[in-house]
Structure 1
Amino acid sequence: MKKLSYLFIALFSLSLITTSCREEKSTGEKIEEAVDDTGDAIEDAADEVEDAVDDNK
């Protein structure tokens, strides 16, 4: 019973160590994400302008 308890404690500790590390993005990934976000924002703005023009017709 004591060995089983130690096994569960060890497995729990291992799971905490492996899941607590977060992934860090590289500079290239950050730039790519920023470019994608900017493109999405421009696309959204263009859609809003198109809707405004259609409403004024």
Structure 2
Amino acid sequence: MKKFIAPVLIGAVAAMLAACSPAAQNETAQAGDQIAADANATFGEAINDTDAAADRAFGSAEATMDNSAATLGNAADDAADATGAALKDAGNAIED
């Protein structure tokens, strides 16, 4: 049993020592830097996409409000014209 456990332990210790080598540490640091750069790029793209979608939504809402205001203004003008015409007609009827 001891003959089986000793090589396994020696292999595990050798693997741990190899992982602590400067080359392995540099590779790990480079991989970490690349992951951070990828995450920053992904978040940057997500922010840009969100900003663009918000701009489109706000632009659409603004256009809808402008169109609604124009429609209400036109309706008010039409009502005022109709009221003015009705008053004229009433005045003409009284005069006759």
TM-score normalized by structure 1? 0.64
Hey, what's the Cα distance between the residues in 1 that align with 2:4 and 2:50?
56
Q: Distance between the aligned counterparts of 1:19 and 1:55, measured in 2? A: 53
- Hey, which bits of structure 1, 4+ residues long, moved more than 6 A? none
Q: Percent identity?
A: 15
Aligned pair count reads 46
Mapped to 2, the partners of 1:16 and 1:41 lie a distance apart of 40
Q: Which runs of 5+ in 1 are unaligned?
A: 1-11
1:53 maps to a residue whose letter is N
CA-based RMSD: 1.4
Structure scoring higher RCO (CA < 8 A, sep ≥ 6) equals: 2
Q: Show the counterpart of 1:18.
A: 7
* 1:50 equivalent in structure 2: 45
Q: Distance in 2 between matches of 1:44 and 1:14?
A: 47
- Quick check: which one's helix share is greater? 2
Q: 15-24 or 33-42, which moves further after superposition?
A: 15-24
Q: Is the radius of gyration larger for structure 1 or structure 2?
A: 2
